[in-house]
Structure 1
Amino acid sequence: MRVFVAGGSGVLGRRLVPQLVARGHQVTATTTTTAKLDLLARIGAQGTVLDGLDAAAVGEAVAAARPDVVVHQMTAISPAHAGKPDIKHPDRWFAKTNRLRTEGTDHLLAAAEAAGVPVVAQGYASWNGIRQGGWVKTEEDPLDLLPGTAANVGLKAMAHVEDVVGRHGGAVMRYGAFYGPGATDDQVELVRRRQYPLIGRGQGYSSWIHLDDAASATVIAIEQKARGVFNIVDDDPAPANQWLPHLAASAGAKPPMRIPVWLGRLLAGDQAVVMMTEGRGFSNDKAKRELGWEPRYPSWRQGFEEGLA
């Protein structure tokens, strides 16, 4: 197949493109800077520089690639694009990413519709399940958009991706929290400095996914022309009071400090408090059943240890 990967030089794109190439697919991958064209060439893709917010440029790039499928992995979360991570103000930190997930998604869908091809897009399913009922949610459960908080604009942008890609007949891969090469460097550094505390009792659940497993699930969705929403997470949704101490131990750091909820909200904002105290993780049963996908890293426990050893 001819696969157009928008955002091919990103943290997931760099793991996805080689898997596609290894499966015999011809990949055109985009980046925002000429400095990364050599990287894309080394991993087997035809690189092209593209601003995902330029509708005309997106349309021209997709048309020129003549793809069989368009894959949306565009974000602007790296420090080069977004500056220093700011979990207290995700509306600021993710400002350009939110535009890529709204305007950028619309541009890619228009180009895909003009080419008559499906879309596979990046979604999110880590701690953001609806805060009612059990601790582990399926694709049938609503997402929590945290109305009235700084996180709401970003979570609404993700809901927009699911809505418009679903109406297009494409697939949305709701990835858990990424870990793997280059994905958790900032978090690990904070953990080693003991600047990533547990908030409250730390009973809020999260789901994780290794980058290579996220990529392998995406390859399957591309090849199967999948439709619908899939939670791409590992088998082990767990509370923060389990995964954060394990991350610290795997990184050779001291155990995380604990702080009360009021202080966590003051220092880190509403999103961090919800994630650590009330977050809901996700089930991967649908992805396993309908895609035939199995994660190589069934638990973050193994993955953290191997990646940080």
Structure 2
Amino acid sequence: MRIFIAGATGAVGSRLVPLLVEAGHDVTGSTRRDTGCEALHAQGATGIVMDPLSAESVLAAVAEAKPEVIVHELTALSGLSGNLKKWDQEFAMTNRLRTEGTDHLLAAAATHGVRRFVAQSFGGGWAYDRTGGAVKSEDDPLIGDPGKEARASLAAIRHLEDTVTGAPGIEGIVLRYGNFYGPGNATSRDGALADLLRQGKLPVVGGGTGVWSFVHIDDVGSATVAAVERGAPGIYNIVDDEPAPVNQWLPFLAEQVGGKKPMRLPAWIARPLIGQFGTALMTSVRGSSNAKAKQALGWTPTYATWRQGFKTGIG
């Protein structure tokens, strides 16, 4: 198939390109600069310089690529400070890519008769409603209000998911990726979380009962290939087999990266420091089930749980 990857040099795109090339697909990827085109050429793909926030640039890129499938992996996640009280400010560009960028790509897809559209969303836990069971499926509702620090980010996720799955004449697939770990990510041996744990600056807040879902970055790539090749339209959680509360995974990660055992901090003390949203991440968010992706996509994560992955796959 002819496949166009928007954001082909990012965290997911850079792993997805060689997998699709190896599978025999004709891959074109977008990048923001000429050096990205050189990197894509080295992986066996064709690079196109594209401004994802320009409708004209996106239309021209899709016209040149002539794809049967568009994969939307556009984000702007490098250089985040981790300030949970400024979540929406830090994700402002990613939110634009999930709204304006998605609209431009779908318009180009409609113009050029693209039959399938696969888009990155988020399923690591915080977007789901925080009532009921600790683990949520794709049929469970998203939260109405995630906290004032993340309202714009949730609105952008809703826009992307509703627009992609509702696009007329297009097979729209949304992949709710879990929290990434592995080489080049915050949860790696030399990543930002590891640094904080080694400095003893990342506590368990409250009871640490917020449930997170993780996924290794390489498993994200293999799941996305499965969605491109055989996924039915709809939404899929792309996470590992073991959603886990903070009070389990954070001390375990600290041990693997040579960090200090996280201290405990009461929620009432932490709330002024990390905000309503940050406190929820530590105490009340829900995890995600991968049952649908495993059954419908025929996908199984290589790293079945974060316990295995944090030991051998964080880089």
TM-score (norm 2): 0.94
Q: Amino acid of the residue matched to residue 7 of structure 2?
A: G
Match of 2:121 in 1: 123
Provide the secondary structure at the position in 2 that maps to 1:8.
coil
From 81, 86, 89, the equivalent of 2:86 is: 89
Gapped runs of 5+ residues in structure 1?
Answer: none
Provide the secondary structure at the position in 1 that maps to 2:149.
coil
Match of 1:72 in 2: 72
Match of 1:61 in 2: 61
Distance 1:33 1:192, change over 3 A: farther
| 1:76-132 CA-partner distances (Å, limit 9, x unpaired) | 1111xxx53332211110011100000000000001111222210001111222111
Match of 2:185 in 1: 183
1:216 and 2:228 correspond: no
Q: What is the 5 A alignment of 1:129-168?
A: 129-147=128-146, 149-168=148-167
Q: Matched residues in 2 for 1:178 and 1:258: separation?
A: 24
Q: Matched residues in 1 for 2:105 and 2:3: separation?
A: 13
Q: Amino acid of the residue matched to residue 57 of structure 2?
A: A
Q: Matched residues in 1 for 2:119 and 2:54: separation?
A: 18
Provide the secondary structure at the position in 2 that maps to 1:269.
helix
Distance 1:279 1:50, change over 3 A: same
| 1:168-212 CA-partner distances (Å, limit 9, x unpaired) | 231000000011111122222222222221111101101001111
How far apart are residue 148 of structure 1 and its match?
5.0
Tell me, yes or no, if the aligned pair for 2:194 and 2:259 is still in contact at 8 Å.
no
Q: Give me the CA root mean square deviation.
A: 1.4
Q: Matched residues in 1 for 2:192 and 2:33: separation?
A: 22
Q: Matched residues in 1 for 2:155 and 2:132: separation?
A: 22
Q: Matched residues in 2 for 1:258 and 1:51: separation?
A: 45
Provide the secondary structure at the position in 1 that maps to 2:313.
helix
Tell me, yes or no, if the aligned pair for 1:145 and 1:152 is still in contact at 8 Å.
no
| 1:36-65 CA-partner distances (Å, limit 9, x unpaired) | 333222222211221110011001101100
Provide the secondary structure at the position in 1 that maps to 2:85.
coil
1:291 and 2:289 correspond: no
Tell me, yes or no, if the aligned pair for 1:250 and 1:308 is still in contact at 8 Å.
no
Q: Amino acid of the residue matched to residue 127 of structure 1?
A: G
Provide the secondary structure at the position in 2 that maps to 1:14.
helix
| 1:206-258 CA-partner distances (Å, limit 9, x unpaired) | 10011111111110110115310001110000000011111111111111122
- List, as ranges, runs of 4+ consecutive aligned residues in structure 1 with deviation greater than 6 Å: none
**Greater mean alpha carbon deviation, residues 42-51 or residues 98-107:** 42-51
Tell me, yes or no, if the aligned pair for 2:146 and 2:154 is still in contact at 8 Å.
no
How far apart are residue 145 of structure 1 and its match?
4.6
How far apart are residue 153 of structure 1 and its match?
0.5
Q: Matched residues in 2 for 1:61 and 1:28: separation?
A: 9
Query: Identity over aligned residues, as a percent?
Result: 50
Match of 1:231 in 2: 237
Tell me, yes or no, if the aligned pair for 2:125 and 2:286 is still in contact at 8 Å.
yes
Q: Matched residues in 2 for 1:131 and 1:251: separation?
A: 30
How far apart are residue 266 of structure 1 and its match?
1.7
How far apart are residue 308 of structure 1 and its match?
4.2
Q: Matched residues in 2 for 1:90 and 1:28: separation?
A: 32
Tell me, yes or no, if the aligned pair for 1:203 and 1:240 is still in contact at 8 Å.
yes
Q: Matched residues in 2 for 1:146 and 1:215: separation?
A: 31
Q: What is the 5 A alignment of 1:251-270?
A: 251-270=257-276
Gapped runs of 5+ residues in structure 2?
Answer: none
